Each structure stands twice: as C-alpha cells, then as structure tokens.
Amino acid sequence: MAPFDPELLTESLIVLLYALVAAVLTAGGALAEYSSLQQFGAGETTVALWLAAFGLVLLYAGLYKIGYERVALRVLEARGYGSR
Amino acid sequence: MVDDVLLSVVIVSLVALAVVVSGLLAGYSWSRIDHPVSDSYSLLMTADCLWAGGYLVMILASGPLIEVGLVVKATFSTLAGVAWLLFVSEYTGDSEWIPGWVWPVLTVEAVAFGVLVAINPGNLVIAEIAVGQFGIGTFAVESAGVLTEIQLLLSGGLVVVSLVFLGRFMLQTSSVYRYQALIIFLTGLVVMVSSTLFVQGFRIHPLVDPTPILFNGQAIAVGWALYRYDFLQLAPVIITRFFRDMNDPVVIINDEFVVAEYNRAADRLVEGLGERVPLTEIDDETFTTTMRSTLSATEGDVEFTAARDDGIERTYDLEVTEVTDQFDITQGHIVVMREITERKRRERRLRKQNERLEEFADVISHDLRNPLSTAMGWTELTREELAGSDPDRTRAREGLEHVEQSHERMEELIDLLLTMARQGQTVDETEPVSITSCAESAWKTAETDGLDLVVETDRTVDADFSRLRQALENLFRNANDHGGASTVFVTDTAAGFAIEDDGNGIPATDRDSLFEFGYTTDDDGTGIGLAVVKRIIEAHGWQITVATREGGGAKFEIKTGSTGLGSPNDSRR
C-alpha cells in the first residue's frame, strides 16, 4: 500500500468537486434541452429556442470546459498517459 | 502616475458609494416589505452592501484587516449570488416550484465557503493576496485558488439559472413587465460577463476587482426599476396570470383600433384574434362589428353572442373602459366581456312565467265571474219574485238553490287558489306513510271514472299524509283527464316511487313546462294540478321528473332520496 500522501488526497478531492460541478452543469443543460423540447411541443418556439441555446452553453461548460478539460485531462495525467 | 491616482480615487469612491447606496436600499426595501419581492430584494441589497464593504476594507486597510475584508467579501459575494437567484425566481414566479430546502442549502454552502476562505487550507482557496501601491494608497487583491474557481462556477451557475428564468419570463410576458425584465436581464448579463473576464484575468488594473461595483450597480438599477416606476404594485407574475387566466374575456385595443393585448378567454371566444392584428382583419365578423359599434357608441350596453370552442352559445355584455395618458388623450380601450348567458336565460324564463301567471289570472277571474254573474242573476230574479204581490215560494227557493250552487263553485275555485298558495310551504311534521294506503285513499276522491288502480309497491316514506294524498290525487286526476289511459300504476323505483299510466304519454315538448303554474294543454284545465303536485313534492324535499313509461304512457318519477324510509323488506330495518 502506498504511503498516505495529503497532496494526492486534496488533488483527488478537487477532481471530485470539479466532477460534481460538471455533473450539475451537464444535468442542468440536459434539463434545459428537455424543457426546450416540451416548450417546442407546446408551440412556444421563442422560449424553446431560448432554452435550447442556454442548454447548449451549459452542456458545453459541463461536458467540455470542466468535464473534459478539468476532470478527464487531470485523471488521464494522473494515470500517466498525459505526460507521454 | 496621475492616471493611477485618478483611477484609484474613482474606484474607492465607487465602492464607498456602492456600500452607502446598497445599505440605504436594503433599509428602504425592508420598510416597504408589503411590496412584492421587497424582502428578497432587501436581502440582496444587504449582501451587496457587505460585499462592497469587505472590498472597501481590503483596499483601504493594511495588515491583518485585509484578510478580514477578504473573508467578508468572499462570503457575501457568494450570498449575493444566492439572494440574486431568490429575488429573480420570486420576480418571475419560478420560486413556486423550487423546493424550499434549496435556499438553506445554498446559504450554508456560502457560509462554509467563507470559513474555507478564512482557513485557506494549503492555499487551495486563495492562491495569494497581492498588495501593492496603486494611486492614492495600497490596494490588495486576491487571486483565486482552485476551490474559489469551483465556487465561482457554482455562483455563475446560479446567475445563469436566473438568466434562464428572466429570459423565459420576458418571452412569455406580453406586457410592460417585458421591458422591466429586459433591464434586469441585461444588467445580470453584464455582471456575468465582467465577472468571468475578471476571473479569467482580464482586468482594468491588476490590483482592482470591479465585480462588487458592477453587481451593486446592477442591483441598484433593478431597485430603481422596481420602486421608481412602481411597476410592481403586485408581483408581475400575479398580474400576468390574473389577466391571462381570468374567466372574463378581455381585449385591449389601441388608439388605431389594433388589438394590443387579449387573454386566454378572449382567445377561446374570438376566432383569429392576435396581437397587433387590426380589428378589421379579424375573421370573426360579429366580433368586429360589435367592437366597432361598442367603441364608437356612447351608450355602454352592447351585447355580443358567440359560440365558444365547446359549441355552446353564450351572450356577453361588453364593458368598455377608455385608457388615457397623462394629457387625457385616449390611448386605447379595454373591453371586458362579461358573460350574461345565464341572466338572459333567466330573464326569458321569468318573462314566460309572468305570461303564464297572467293567463292563469285571466282563467281564474273568468271562471269566478261566470258563477258570480249566475248568482247575481238568480239573486235579482228571486228578489223580483219576492217583491211581487203573490211571491211563488217554490220558485224563490229554486232561485236561491242556483245561487247556492254558484257559491259552491266559487268556493271550490277559491279553495284551489288557496291550495296552490299553501302547498309551496315546507312540510314540518312527517310520519311514516304507506304509499299503498295513501294512494288508495287518494283514489277514492280523485274522480277517476272507469280507471283501474294497480299498486305495485309496499314502500313507506316519511311524509305529511294529507298533502301526499293531495299530490297523488292530482296525479290520478291528471291521468284521467289527459292520458287516455285505462289503468294507473303505482310502482317502486330505485330512489322512490312512480305513478304510471298506459295512456298516450306526454310529448317531450310539453315536459319542460309541465309543472309550471297555469300551464295546461286542455281548454278546461286550470293549469294548477301538476303545479300543486310539484310544490308538494318539493316541500317534502323530494324531486319529481316526468318520463315515458315502457310501452308508452306517462311516468311521473318521485325521488324521495334519503328522506324515504325505504321498503319494509329492506334488510337494515
């Protein structure tokens, strides 16, 4: 078993927090897209477009900016793939 | 550097101004707590005030006070984000569906973040505090650690959510609130963008954090929109919903006779109604002409009849209110359509009933006058007879007998009238009455020559015997006079009992008015019999309906409901 490393612990905690934020943002984005579809079905096209656009922003932030750039890259780096 | 001095003075003054103004606004909106969204706006202003206050300490103080200012600033900037979302969600009405636990959770999270800032474990929250000479003094500014970055993402997320609410509200509200919401939305967007830029490192000066000033400026602008123009005597969402969902159709027409606004009820009522549609282009011709005459006419009483989606014709009374501006110039008209279908129907029914009452009075006076004139005639003859020198006693007695007969007839008629008036009174004392014995007793006096009575029920009801007997008697007489029947049946039904006959039955057209006072299909009838029946039945708290008997004939069903005692073979008794 590896010796206890506080830096590793904080690092994993931070990745975990980022993952949480990414999950929340992605869920929010998905929710926005879903209600966009609902609004579209109800004939409220402008509101639907509005929600769709915001949903896309949230999905971009959640999946790419945080999910990929902050979480996935760090995890990959930590496993030793990133450095090569 | 002169520029730096100027800039630093401006910044310090702006932050100080933000503290003072947001503090005043917090107090002011708290004093107007009756005003909608005032409480959450007051919370927002308090958080803003302390946020800017913390920053003011950071840029004016030195030494350990800088850290205190930083903790205050970090805590209350986070709380300001929460208060902002609370304020916006109450403004747009979205707070209705947001679960209550969200707010305490977010508040606790913000306070926890403040504690983290104070401890700053491993410099994860605050990477460093840069202190440097800037213009008139030493400014301090922090650079965000990774945890602050995460917190900013969360706070930013709240602002994004608020923008979604505001945007949707703006698009769905078709009123003055749209512009107010637009102002709030735009200020929110400006703050969002500038905060992002600040975090990303784009700064007007490396030692300056403009976000507290911006956020305050925004909140103050919003407060100005809320209170200066007093748009919100009620939360906009309430007015919007009230207008949208009210039952009376409302159409607002501008001075160029173009539809400015309308609600759902109006949309359902009028075909082809739309915003910015000129009156002349609406498909519904009746509506267009009615509106035209309403708006041009000086008298207010204009009626409009139309069929709604459900196909039922409804009549509306149009009430027009002129909308004028501060110069008393007409800007448009609000047309409220009040449904008066029921009133119209009642008016018609009342008119008919009045007509029938008049006819009835005619019948009565006619019928009374006949025997009266007969009696008067015989009285005159008898007097002449007796005035002679040799009165014939037998003829005089005969004359008096005629007078007596006429009086009897008149008494009968008066009795009928009294019955009519009395039977409407409610029944006070009841006893268990066997339908069979009551029907047989009524049969004896009903003058039903040649008809047979068949009783097929052993039900007992709670009733006033003599009055029920009167009702049955009238029903039997009705079968005898109008039915062409040979047998009358008294039968049992699920909810009471029924009087049926095997005659011609009652035409459907007569059924509605059958029980009305003075209604008769017979030239000799008084139109009292069945009206009396209905009054007696209803005085018992029962109901009477008329139907067709299986195989033809009339069927009067009497629903005694729970007041009946049920039949004797009922297992509960």
pLDDT of residue B74: 92
B450: left (phi over 0), alpha (psi -120 to 50) or beta: left
> How many Å lie between the alpha carbon of A72 and the closest alpha carbon of chain B?
16
Best mutation target among A14, A59, A64 (most B Cβ atoms within 10 Å) is A14
pLDDT of residue B149: 85
Counting as low any pLDDT under 50, the low residues of chain B are: 231-234, 563-573
CB contact under 8 A, B160 and A17: no
> How many Å lie between the alpha carbon of A28 and the closest alpha carbon of chain B?
9
The two three-digit tokens of residue B54, written as one number: 């913390």
Read off φ and ψ for residue B98, nearest 5 degrees: -75, 125
Give the nearest partner residue to B124 out of A10, A28, A57, using CB atoms: A10
Per-residue HEC secondary structure of B153-197 comes to: HHHHHHHHHHHHHHHHHHHHCCCCHHHHHHHHHHHHHHHHHHHHH
Q: Establish if B274 touches chain A: CB-CB under 8 angstroms.
A: no
Exposure on the CB side of residue B230, measured as CA atoms within 13 A: 4
Give the nearest partner residue to B157 out of A14, A28, A44, using CB atoms: A28
CA angle B161, B167, B171 (to 5 degrees): 150
CB contact under 8 A, B168 and A50: yes
How do residues A20-71 score in pLDDT, each as one tens digit? 889 988 998 998 899 888 888 877 788 888 888 888 988 998 898 888 888 8
CA angle A52, A60, B167 (to 5 degrees): 35
CB contact under 8 A, A28 and B146: no
CB contact under 8 A, A50 and B146: no
What is the Cα–Cα distance from B318 to B334, expressed in whole angstroms?
A: 10
Contacting residues for B474 by C-beta, under 8 A, at least 6 apart: B529, B530, B532, B533
CB contact under 8 A, B168 and A57: no
What is the Cα–Cα distance from A41 to B324, expressed in whole angstroms?
A: 39
What is the Cα–Cα distance from B534 to B14, expressed in whole angstroms?
A: 84
User: Can you tell me whether residue B240 is helix, strand or coil?
Assistant: helix
B75 close to B117: Cβ distance less than 8 angstroms: yes
> How many Å lie between the alpha carbon of A65 and the closest alpha carbon of chain B?
11
* Residue of chain B whose Cα is closest to the Cα of A36: B168
B497 close to B491: Cβ distance less than 8 angstroms: yes
What is the Cα–Cα distance from B27 to B33, expressed in whole angstroms?
A: 10
Beta pairing, strands B543-548 & B487-493: unpaired
What is the Cα–Cα distance from B213 to B216, expressed in whole angstroms?
A: 5
> How many Å lie between the alpha carbon of B150 and the closest alpha carbon of chain A?
7
B153 contact residues in A (CB cutoff 8 A): 21, 25, 61, 66
pLDDT of residue B497: 92
ipTM: 0.78
Best mutation target among B98, B120, B146, B178 (most A Cβ atoms within 10 Å) is B146
CB contact under 8 A, B153 and A21: yes
What is the Cα–Cα distance from A62 to B320, expressed in whole angstroms?
A: 54
Residue tagged 């005898």 (tokens): B480
CB contact under 8 A, A57 and B122: no
A56 contact residues in B (CB cutoff 8 A): none
Give the nearest partner residue to A46 out of B150, B163, B171, using CB atoms: B171
pLDDT of residue B92: 83
DSSP E strand boundaries for B412-486: 431-434, 452-456, 460-463
Longest dimension (CA), chain B: 151
Q: Establish if A72 touches chain B: CB-CB under 8 angstroms.
A: no
Q: Across the A/B interface, how many CB contacts are shorter than 8 Å?
A: 42
Best mutation target among B171, B192, B196, B275 (most A Cβ atoms within 10 Å) is B171
The CA R_g of chain A, rounded to the nearest whole Å, is 18
> How many Å lie between the alpha carbon of B162 and the closest alpha carbon of chain A?
11
Contacting residues for B174 by C-beta, under 8 A, at least 6 apart: B261, B275
CA separation (Å) from A2 to A6, A8, A11?
Answer: 12, 11, 16
DSSP string, B539-559: HTT-EEEEEEPTTSSEEEEEE
B304 close to B316: Cβ distance less than 8 angstroms: yes
How do residues B392-436 score in pLDDT, each as one tens digit? 888 889 989 989 988 888 887 787 777 666 665 666 778 899 999
pLDDT of residue B237: 63
> How many Å lie between the alpha carbon of B164 and the closest alpha carbon of chain A?
7
What is the Cα–Cα distance from B524 to A74, expressed in whole angstroms?
A: 105
B124 contact residues in A (CB cutoff 8 A): 10, 14
Read off φ and ψ for residue B556, nearest 5 degrees: -100, 115
> How many Å lie between the alpha carbon of A58 and the closest alpha carbon of chain B?
9
* Residue of chain B whose Cα is closest to the Cα of A7: B122
Q: Establish if B108 touches chain A: CB-CB under 8 angstroms.
A: no
> How many Å lie between the alpha carbon of B210 and the closest alpha carbon of chain A?
24
pLDDT of residue B490: 92
Give CA torsion, residues B373, B379, B381, B386, to 10 deg. -170
**pTM above 0.90?**
no
| Number of CB atoms found within 10 A of residue A3's CB | 5
Read off φ and ψ for residue B251, nearest 5 degrees: -130, 130
The two three-digit tokens of residue A78, written as one number: 């930590």
Q: Establish if A18 touches chain B: CB-CB under 8 angstroms.
A: yes
Q: Establish if A30 touches chain B: CB-CB under 8 angstroms.
A: no
Q: Establish if A25 touches chain B: CB-CB under 8 angstroms.
A: yes
What is the Cα–Cα distance from B451 to B439, expressed in whole angstroms?
A: 14
pLDDT of residue B511: 76
> How many Å lie between the alpha carbon of B130 and the closest alpha carbon of chain A?
24
- The burial of B340, by beta-carbon neighbours within 10 Å (0-12 exposed, 13-18 middle, 19 or more buried), is given as middle
CA-based nearest residue to B92, from B203, B238, B281, B307: B238
